[in-house]
């Protein structure tokens, strides 16, 4: 079974957001269209607590782009972005979320940044859940 994983299609990563990707909004209609071609659609959200260690604002005298050692690992510092339960952390309003069966939250541990969708360490639910969901859907579809 093929699955579509939509990664971090959140307001703060779009033009006008706190950490914008230029033309990031142009992927929204593509993501919406692609979903029709997959039986399983999941998504991720960058989902930081306000005290996250990757935020420059949480380190006195530091600015975005500076590097620090965070819990033993080199960390680039970012502007405050994708703080849990804020507008910036929400999916883009034009993004069709109706077919998403699960949203994985990453970057929830204040001491661990998490760029990868697959290697995040702290999540509310492990990837095995998504795989089990996929297996269940396959079984039900036949
Ligand atoms: Zn982040």
Q: Are strands 67-70 and 73-76 parallel, antiparallel or unpaired?
A: antiparallel
Ligand 1 centroid vs 138 CA: distance in angstroms?
Answer: 33
Q: Hey, where are the domains in the chain?
A: 3-141
Q: What is the mean pLDDT of residues 7-13?
A: 97
Question: 85: which 2 tokens?
Answer: 């339960």
Q: pLDDT tens digit string along 62-115? A: 999 999 999 888 999 999 999 999 999 999 999 999 999 999 898 998 988 877
> What is the dihedral sign for C-alpha 51, 52, 55, 61?
positive
Ligand 1 centroid vs 3 CA: distance in angstroms?
Answer: 24
Stated pTM of the model? 0.82
Residues bordering ligand 1, an ion, CB closer than 5 Å: 46, 107
16 has pLDDT over 70:
yes
Residues recorded for the chain? 142
Radius of gyration of the chain (CA): 16
Looking at per-residue pLDDT, the higher value among 23 and 2 belongs to: 23
Residue appearing with tokens 């939509």: 6
Ligand 1 centroid vs 107 CA: distance in angstroms?
Answer: 6
Name the CATH code of domain 3-141 (choices 1.20.1070.10, 3.90.1200.10, 3.40.50.850, 3.40.50.300): 3.40.50.850
Q: What is the mean pLDDT of residues 21-31?
A: 97
Terminal CA-CA length for the chain = 11
Coil vs helix vs strand at 27 = helix
Least confident residue range of 41-55, 70-84, 112-126: 112-126
Question: 66: which 2 tokens?
Answer: 């500076």
27 has pLDDT over 50:
yes
């Amino acid at each position: 079974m093929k699955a579509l994983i939509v990664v971090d299609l959140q307001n703060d990563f779009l033009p006008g957001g706190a950490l914008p990707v230029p033309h990031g909004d142009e992927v929204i209609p593509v993501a919406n269209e692609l979903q029709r071609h997959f039986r399983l659609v999941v998504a991720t959200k960058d989902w930081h607590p306000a005290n996250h260690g990757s935020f420059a604002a949480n380190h006195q005298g530091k600015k975005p782009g500076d590097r620090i050692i965070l819990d033993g690992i080199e960390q680039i510092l970012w502007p405050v972005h994708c703080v849990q339960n804020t507008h910036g952390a929400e999916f883009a309003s034009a993004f069709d979320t109706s077919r998403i069966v699960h949203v994985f939250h990453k970057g929830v541990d204040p001491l661990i940044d998490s760029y990868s969708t697959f290697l995040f360490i702290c999540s509310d639910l492990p990837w095995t859940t998504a795989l089990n969901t996929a297996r269940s859907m396959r079984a039900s579809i036949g």
